[in-house]
Each structure stands twice: as structure tokens, then as C-alpha cells.
Structure 1
Amino acid sequence: MLDGARRRLRRLRRRARALERRRSRDARHWLAETSNLTHVSVLLFVPLLIGFVTLLSNELQVLSFLLFPPLASGTYTLFADPEGRYANPWTFVGGMSLGAFCGWVAIELTALLTGPSASAGVATPGGLWEVHAWAAALAIFLAGALTWVLDLELPSAFSTALLVLLTDPGRFVSVAGITVSTSVVYVATVALSASVVAGVFAVWRHEFYERRARYLYSTTQADDHVLVPMRGETGDATAMFGARVAAAHDAGKVVLLDVVDDDAIAAAERRLLEEGETAAVEDADSVAETAEDVRERAERSAADEAAAELERCAARIETRVGVPCEVVVAVESDITVTSLLDAARDTNCDLVVTPLERDPDGTPTRFLRDLFRSDIDAIAFDSKTERTDWKRVMVPVRAAGQLAHAMVDYGQRLAGKVGTVSVCTCIGDERSRRTAESMLANLTETSDARCETRVSRASLDEFIERNESHYDLVVFGAHDYGSRFAVSQAFEWADETETDAAVVHTR
């Protein structure tokens, strides 16, 4: 009874851990989309920064609440579009400060032109504050002209230029023993608060946003230990492909895996029996081996032959690519996904690169379908040429996300610093072009390779057919490895191309 309870408890724990891993993976994939990341950053940093400035205002008793509307909108502009036109810390601080300064100048000029007793604003009997029309017009004119000339254009600058007019220039406060007008205090606090926000934004963008591939996209820092099962006639080409992927990282290595099946053992056994019969004729005193002895020797002989062949392939890879290679030989009837994953864990590999194999009807084999549903990153490589180097890579994508970033990352690894990665997408109408261009820009801005982006009105099939001849490799993505249709569609596209193709799966 206790044993049964323990087993049920262990099963519940395994399910809970699996559910936690799945939720963590889903959350990481969701954050991998740049739009989701920026929205989360807005929800996190804008309230915290405004709250901090408010706390500072309550403590110092010199910050006007009129500061917060332009500061909040400007902070949103920074974090919502970190690569946009206004996402420059110097422009943010300079624009807001210059706008407030222009408003203060408008106050002083209005008082000078309309008389010493007049100012930019007056209090009405009802307690409301009326702003002089000429002061407002002058503040906006100065803000627009100076921010344009000094290249500090910022929407929030016009807000600070107007809001400073609501301060009372005739009221003075003491700051650090110095008596100054509240209008001057407003200008100074705008500059100070904007500097705090800009500093936080600059650190966030440099340390996290521009390096988000390191934290959110698992393939950019992982997938440097590559396991290559030597299956089919294109095993050597696939091994070279996997080596190119691994060589992009300093810690990269390739593990070549081969299986000694029953056919290989039977061939070795026949050879040993023939050799044994010849030896028996020559030596009448020799003792006949048992069937078990012959079988054991045949397994060792077949394994030695397979290991020797793998060693020769590993030597070629190390010579041409310069990445360390290991060889593993297993004695099994056939390699399964379960045994492959066990080998990956034993050799500390986090990426499987396997030849793209199909059944007679053209669909991917059961082995590939199971591999693409497993919890390991995988690439199915379809070698159609004798190419061993891929410098021009096409990456057609549908949408941003973890898979799209992985496809671009693999393309970058293969192209290197001298190659080109072309990230493409297809749209149905021109209204989708700006969104598509923005999506492609988000995908490529984290890449160190030479990238180009292309948006086409043609269907994906037509686009690939017209352009594949200009590339060495086309990288496809299995967008939903839980759906057989999606996986089969990616393999179908790979089958229709005449150049080398790769189908990518990420966990």
C-alpha cells in the first residue's frame, strides 16, 4: 500500500515538473516576440519610474505635479519603441528640458512685452489659472524651432513647454539656500527627472533589450554540442552541416553516432565463420568456437569497423571545420528517438542534426516525426548538392517568435561573418507591409551576421521557386511540432526546393 502511494506521489511530482517546464517554455516563447517584450517592459518600468519620481517629489517638496504627464508619456515612448525615432536618451532629456526652457522664456518675454505687471498666466476669481494666449503660442513656436534646429524633436517637449506656463513666475521658493522662481524650478526638475528615466532606459536597452537573444532565445547560447546520427546516404554531408552549426560557438563540438544493426553483425559473423573454417583446415588442432563466441566477436568486429569509419569522417571534419569531434557506436537493431535522446544526454548534446528521410509516399519518416515532437532542438537536413559550406542562406518566416529567432540564428552560424542571411516573409496586401517590415527588423537586429530583409506579395511557394537558385540553403521551420500537418508542410517545402534545405524544430 505504501509502495503504491509512493509511486503515485512520484508520478504526480513528475507531472508537476513537466507542467512547470512547459509553462516556463511557453512563457519564454511568448516573451521572444519583441512586441510582447516591449509591452511587458512598459507595464513594469513606466509605473515604477513614475512612482519613484513621485516619491522623490513628496520628499523634496519642490517637484510640481505638472511634471508627470509629459514624463509618463515620454517614458512610454522610450520603452514601447526602443529602436524608434524618439528612443534616444539624449534626445529625451534634451527635448523635454528644452521644451520647459522655451516655456520659461515665453513667460519672461510675455512679461517684458506686456508690461512688468503682466505675466504668462493669471488666477481668475473662480480659482482657475488662465494662460496668456501669446505666451502659449510663443512657447510652442520656440519649442518647435529650437528642437528642430538642435535635432532634439520630441512630442513631450511641447507638453513641458505649455505646462510650465501654469507655474506662477511670481512665486519663489528656496532651494539649497537659493531663492528661485517656481518656473525655473520646474525647468530644472524636468531636466533632473528626465535624466533619471533616460539613465534607466539606457541601461535596460544596452544590458537587456539589445542582448535579449542571450536571455530569451535558447539557441543563441545553447545548441553548441551537436549530435549527428549517421543515417542514410547523406550522413557525411549532414555531419559536415552539423559541424558548421557547432563551429560558430567556441565551445562547440560534434558527436557522430552510428548504430551497428543486425545486418552488419550478420555480415561480420559470416566473414568470421569463413575465416574460422579456413583456419580450421590449416590447423587441425584448433578448437571450434561456440555460436555465442562468434556472435560476440562479430559484434565487436562490426563495431570496430563502424568506429573506424566514423573516425575517418571525424578527422575530415576536424581538418576542414576545426571543431572537435567524438564518435559513439551503439549495437542495436535500429536507432529510435528514445535511444537517440539517451545518447544526447550521455554526450551532453543539446541539438540533433539528422538527415531528412522520407517514406515512399514522400512524408517524413516516423523517426523524424517523433524527433520533432521530442523535447530537444533538432534540424533535419536535406542534402541535394555536394556543398559543404553555406554562405548564402534564405530564411522564410511567418511570424516572430522563438522558432523564427532560432532559424535566423542557425542561418547566421552557417553564413558566418562573410556570408549573407536573407530573412523573408510574404504578405497578402500592401496594408501588411509595414507590420511585416517591422517584424523582420526585430528578428534581424539581434544578429551579428550580414542580414537583409525581403517582403514579397507572392505566395511562399512562388517566392522560393523564383529565388532559391540564388542561395546555398533554405531554412524552414516546423511551426507547430504537435501538429502533423504543420510538420509535413515544412517537409513538403523542403522537398520541393532544388537547393539544400533544413527544417528546424525548437523545444
Structure 2
Amino acid sequence: MLDQFRKRVRAAARRLRRVERRELQDFRRWAEVTENLVHLSMLVFVPLAIVLVTTLANAVPQLSFLLFPPLAAGSYTLFVDPTSKYSDPKRFVAGLTIGAVCGLGALAVSNSYLTAPGGQFGVSALGAGLAVFATGVVTWPLDIEEPSSYSTALLALLVEPSQRAAFVVSIFLASSLVAALFVVWREEFYEQRATYLYESMSGDDHVLVPMRGDSAGQTAMLGARLAAAHEAGKVVLLDMVSDSDAATTQQSLMRDTIQMDIRSENGSGSPSARTRPVADGGNPANASVSPDQTDLEAEVDWLETHADRIETRTGVSCQVVVASDDGSPAQTTLQTAAETNCDLIVAPYESRHGALTSYLQRLFRSESDIVVHRSRSDRTRWKQVIVPVRSVSDVAHNMVDFATRLAGRSGRVAVATCIGSRGDRRRAEEMLADLIEPYEGAFETRVPRTDIQTFLTDTAPQYDLVMIGASRDRSKASRFISPPTFERLEDVETDVAIVDRGRA
């Protein structure tokens, strides 16, 4: 009875941890969208700034309470669009301070030449207009226009004569405090958000490549170039056989090959051509082994050749793993990725009747990050990459990151979004600017007024690779009515990489 209770408690704890991990992952991917991150930061840091200023005002009675309305509005302007011209800390401090000075100047003029209306908060209408006019006249030529400076100028008309100097000083100090908080947030977090939030920036560098199909060599090189972008990158080439005995034999042959290479390097001689395994360059016809073993040795030789080529061309560590598929190649691939600590699977493209094979569909439904490579040539370098996107998302960030890895410093990455004949071009351009801002490299953005299929058919031949999303976020009904874009690119004679993030 007690054992059953303990098992249920442990099972409940495991489920709770899975839910927590899933929710944390969902939140992190939600925060990858710049708009979400900015609004979340605004909800946190604007109130924090007001708390700091209020604490300071309570400690220093000379600070005027009239500084709070323009300060709150100005803080919102700073954080809501960190890249706009109004999110300049110097503009923020100077604008609010000049607005206060102009307001006090207008107050002095109105008190001298105009009759102020009665009441505690009575303000001359002409004085208010003069305060706004003076603020605009001063800030415009100096290029320090700040929306909140006008409210500061108007509030200055309510300041008591004994508090006018303190009002200007309090505006300057409070705005400087908020500006300092904004600078720290922008430089240490917002501009570094890719490092903190985008998982691919620090991961997706241990790459597993299932060696399936005729283009496995090109796909392995694609995976190697993705891994080579990080110092800790590695590549694992996976070969799957139908039974465990063959897998054991093949692994043994690879160990024999490595041992003979070591003996050869140490000057211990090499085996004769008659008995030398095929994996070390011998002739299968002269090998003193069974026909089945000769086939295995030839396959080992093929795998080792690819591994050597990867290490030579990219400098990335490459190892070969042979596993029994046990009737489920997809499950074997995922299990091997977990056992070899690989966080990205790069698989060759496979299709049947115009759709992905069940093997690739199973990979896309897994928790692993997936790249499916459709090769149209013997290309092993991709310096010109185009990335079509629909919106800013975690998958879009992955695609841009992978594209910059492949293009390198000497390549070029184009990021495009199609808006049709009635789309909002400005909004699309702002979206693309937000998407590529965290990354370094040569970028171009394209906003064509056409559909995605027509655009890629006309444009893709100018590039080495099309990096496109798998559209796994769409419902089955939506995918049935309108097939994913990559399924409509069969006539495009350019390499295609289909990218998807794992779903817990």
C-alpha cells in the first residue's frame, strides 16, 4: 500500500516537472518575440522607475510632485520602442528639462504682462500656449523634441514661486535616474536578448545526421557547417541497420579501422592488401570475409569517408554511430540524438506522393529541433541564403540564426515576407527589422507584393539555399486547404532547408 502511494507521488512529481518545463519553454519562446518582450519590460521597468523616483521624492521634500505625470509618460515612450529616435536617453533628459525651463519662462511672462485667472490652479490661456510654443521653438532646432517635454512645460505653470528652481532640478534628476535605468536595460538585456532568450544562439551545435538517401553527404556537410559556427560544435553521423547483429559488426569494423590507422601512424606496418578491410581502402574482391561483411565494410568506408571530409573541411569533430532501427527508424534517430547529446537533427529530405514520409513527420512531431535538407545539386557550401518568414517567432529566429551560420562573414542573407497587393509595407519592414536586429552579418530585407510561391519561384535560383519554416503551428485543416510552402517548391531548382523547433 505504501509502495503504491510512493509510486503515485513520484509519478505526479514527474508530471508536474514536465508541465513546469513545458510552461517555461512556452514562456521563453513567447518572450522571443520582440513586441512581447518590450511590452513585458515596459510593465516591469516603468513601474520600477516610478517607484525609485517616488522613493527619492519622499526622501527629499523639495522635489515637486508635479514631475510624476510627464515622467511616467516619458518612461513609457523610452521602453515601448527602444530603437526609435524618441528612445534616446539624452533627448529624454534634455527635453523634459528644457520643457520645464520654457514653462517657467512662459509663466514669468504671463505673470508680468497678462492677468492670471483666479483660483489655486488658474492658468492663463495665453501663458499655456506660450509655454508650448517656446518648448517647440527651442527643442526643434536642437533636435531634442520629446513628447513629454510639452506636458512638463504646462505643469511648470502650476509651480509655486518658491519651488521653481527645485522643480527644474527635480525634473533633471528624476529623468536622469529613469534614463540610467533605461540604458542599463537596453544595453545589458534588450540588445543581448538573443544570448539570453534565443536558444539556437547557444545551442543547436551538436548535430545528428541520419545518413539516409542519395543526398546524405550534402546533408551531413550542411549539418557540419551549422555546428562549426560554435566552438563546441560536433557532428554525429547515424547509420541504421535492420538488426542488432549487423550494427555490432559494423561498429566493430569501424573500431578495427581506427586501430589500423593508429598502427599505421605509429609505423607498425599495415595489413596486406589481401586481408585489409574495405574501410581502410582495400579491395572488396580480395577481402577474406563473407559477402555480407564485405557490404558492411563498404558502408563503413563510406561513412568514414564522409566523417573525414567533414573534419577536414569544417574542423568540426565528427563521429559515426551505427544503431539497429528495430522497425522504427524515427524512434531510433530520436533515441540516438538523446544518447549522443545532440540538440539538432539534420535529415535528408524524403517524400512520398508529394508529401513528407512518415519518418520525417515523426521527427517533426518530436521535442527535437529539426532541419530537413532537400538537395538539388552537389553543393556543400551555402553563402547566399534567403529566409522567407510570415512573422516574428521562435522558428523565424532559428532560421535567421542558421542562415547567418551558413553564410558566414563573406556571405549574404536575405529575409523576406510577402504581403500581397493590399499588405502594409511599413509594418512588414518594421517586422523584418525587429527580426534581424539581434544578429550580426550582411542582411537585405525584401517585401514583395506577391504570393510566396511566385516569389520563390522567381527569386530562389539567385540563392544557394532557401531556409523555410515547416508550418507546424498551423492546424490540420489549414494545412489540408493550403499545403505548406515547402511542399509547393518541387519545381524550384535550389536547395531547401525546412526548419522546425521541437515541441515539448
* TM-score computed with the length of structure 2 as normaliser: 0.85
Q: How does 1:179-328 map to 2 (within 5 A)?
A: 182-261=163-242, 265=246, 305-328=298-321
Structure 1 match to 2:445: 453
* Inter-partner Cα distance in structure 1 for 2:324 and 2:231: 32
Code of the aligned partner of 1:135: G
1:468 to 439, 460, 464: 460
1:100-138 per-position Cα deviation (integer Å, ceiling 9, x unaligned): 122223334445x53xxx7xx8572xx432223443333
1:200 deviates by 0.7
Question: Is the Cα–Cα contact under 8 Å of residues 372 and 481 in structure 1 kept in the other structure?
Answer: no
1:426-459 per-position Cα deviation (integer Å, ceiling 9, x unaligned): 1245452222222111101011121111112211
Structure 2 match to 1:280: none
**Worse-superposed segment, 381-390 or 325-334:** 325-334
Distance 1:27 1:263, change over 3 A: closer
Code of the aligned partner of 1:32: E
1:358 deviates by 1.1
* Inter-partner Cα distance in structure 1 for 2:59 and 2:246: 83
SS state of the match for residue 259, structure 1? strand
1:50 deviates by 1.0
* Inter-partner Cα distance in structure 1 for 2:69 and 2:134: 20
Question: Is the Cα–Cα contact under 8 Å of residues 110 and 116 in structure 2 kept in the other structure?
Answer: no
Code of the aligned partner of 1:499: T
Code of the aligned partner of 1:214: T
Q: How does 1:34-183 map to 2 (within 5 A)?
A: 34-111=34-111, 114=113, 124=118, 127-169=119-161, 171=162, 182-183=163-164
Question: Is the Cα–Cα contact under 8 Å of residues 102 and 142 in structure 1 kept in the other structure?
Answer: yes
Distance 1:161 1:298, change over 3 A: farther
SS state of the match for residue 131, structure 1? coil
**Worse-superposed segment, 40-49 or 234-243:** 40-49
* Inter-partner Cα distance in structure 2 for 1:13 and 1:84: 47
Q: How does 1:402-413 map to 2 (within 5 A)?
A: 402-413=394-405
2:333 to 336, 340, 348: 340
Code of the aligned partner of 1:158: Y
Distance 1:346 1:132, change over 3 A: same
Code of the aligned partner of 2:219: T
Structure 1 match to 2:344: 351
Distance 1:161 1:302, change over 3 A: same
Question: Is the Cα–Cα contact under 8 Å of residues 363 and 491 in structure 1 kept in the other structure?
Answer: no
Question: Is the Cα–Cα contact under 8 Å of residues 481 and 505 in structure 1 kept in the other structure?
Answer: no
* Inter-partner Cα distance in structure 1 for 2:206 and 2:423: 43
1:210 deviates by 1.0
Question: Is the Cα–Cα contact under 8 Å of residues 461 and 492 in structure 2 kept in the other structure?
Answer: no
1:311-341 per-position Cα deviation (integer Å, ceiling 9, x unaligned): 2111111222222212212244566222222
**Worse-superposed segment, 223-232 or 491-500:** 491-500
Distance 1:482 1:455, change over 3 A: closer
Code of the aligned partner of 1:493: R
Question: Is the Cα–Cα contact under 8 Å of residues 259 and 334 in structure 1 kept in the other structure?
Answer: no
Question: Is the Cα–Cα contact under 8 Å of residues 254 and 323 in structure 1 kept in the other structure?
Answer: yes
Question: Is the Cα–Cα contact under 8 Å of residues 478 and 486 in structure 1 kept in the other structure?
Answer: no
* Inter-partner Cα distance in structure 1 for 2:348 and 2:220: 9
1:402-442 per-position Cα deviation (integer Å, ceiling 9, x unaligned): 11111111111111112111111112454522222221111
Radius of gyration: which is bigger? 1
1:379 deviates by 0.2
1:261 deviates by 3.3
* Inter-partner Cα distance in structure 1 for 2:223 and 2:489: 18
Code of the aligned partner of 1:318: E
**Worse-superposed segment, 7-16 or 374-383:** 7-16
Gaps of 5+ in 1: 172-181, 270-295
Distance 1:430 1:363, change over 3 A: closer
SS state of the match for residue 388, structure 1? coil
* Inter-partner Cα distance in structure 1 for 2:106 and 2:48: 33
Gaps of 5+ in 2: 251-288
Distance 1:486 1:400, change over 3 A: farther
* Inter-partner Cα distance in structure 2 for 1:31 and 1:299: 54
1:414 to 406, 412, 419: 406
Structure 2 match to 1:292: none
Structure 1 match to 2:14: 14
SS state of the match for residue 386, structure 2? strand
Distance 1:346 1:478, change over 3 A: same
Question: Is the Cα–Cα contact under 8 Å of residues 33 and 402 in structure 1 kept in the other structure?
Answer: yes
SS state of the match for residue 132, structure 2? helix
* Inter-partner Cα distance in structure 1 for 2:479 and 2:192: 31
Structure 2 match to 1:386: 378
* Inter-partner Cα distance in structure 1 for 2:33 and 2:23: 16
Question: Is the Cα–Cα contact under 8 Å of residues 214 and 221 in structure 1 kept in the other structure?
Answer: yes
Code of the aligned partner of 1:151: D
1:492 to 474, 487, 496: 487
Percent same amino acid at aligned positions? 47
* Inter-partner Cα distance in structure 2 for 1:467 and 1:303: 43
* Inter-partner Cα distance in structure 2 for 1:333 and 1:339: 8
Question: Is the Cα–Cα contact under 8 Å of residues 242 and 324 in structure 2 kept in the other structure?
Answer: yes
1:370 deviates by 0.7
SS state of the match for residue 456, structure 1? coil
Question: Is the Cα–Cα contact under 8 Å of residues 418 and 449 in structure 2 kept in the other structure?
Answer: yes
Structure 1 match to 2:428: 436
* Inter-partner Cα distance in structure 1 for 2:423 and 2:154: 36
Question: Is the Cα–Cα contact under 8 Å of residues 324 and 332 in structure 2 kept in the other structure?
Answer: no
Distance 1:57 1:429, change over 3 A: farther
Distance 1:482 1:150, change over 3 A: closer
SS state of the match for residue 390, structure 1? coil
SS state of the match for residue 311, structure 1? helix
1:44 deviates by 0.9
Task: Number of aligned residue pairs: give it.
Answer: 460
1:427 to 408, 419, 424: 419
Q: Residue 330 in 1 paired to residue 323 in 2? A: yes
Over the aligned positions, Cα root-mean-square deviation in angstroms equals 2.6
* Inter-partner Cα distance in structure 2 for 1:372 and 1:161: 59
SS state of the match for residue 395, structure 1? strand
Code of the aligned partner of 1:449: G
* Inter-partner Cα distance in structure 2 for 1:23 and 1:304: 47
1:194 deviates by 0.6
**Worse-superposed segment, 433-442 or 362-371:** 433-442
Code of the aligned partner of 2:437: E
Code of the aligned partner of 1:156: S
* Inter-partner Cα distance in structure 2 for 1:489 and 1:9: 43
Code of the aligned partner of 2:207: V
Code of the aligned partner of 1:419: G
* TM-score computed with the length of structure 1 as normaliser: 0.85
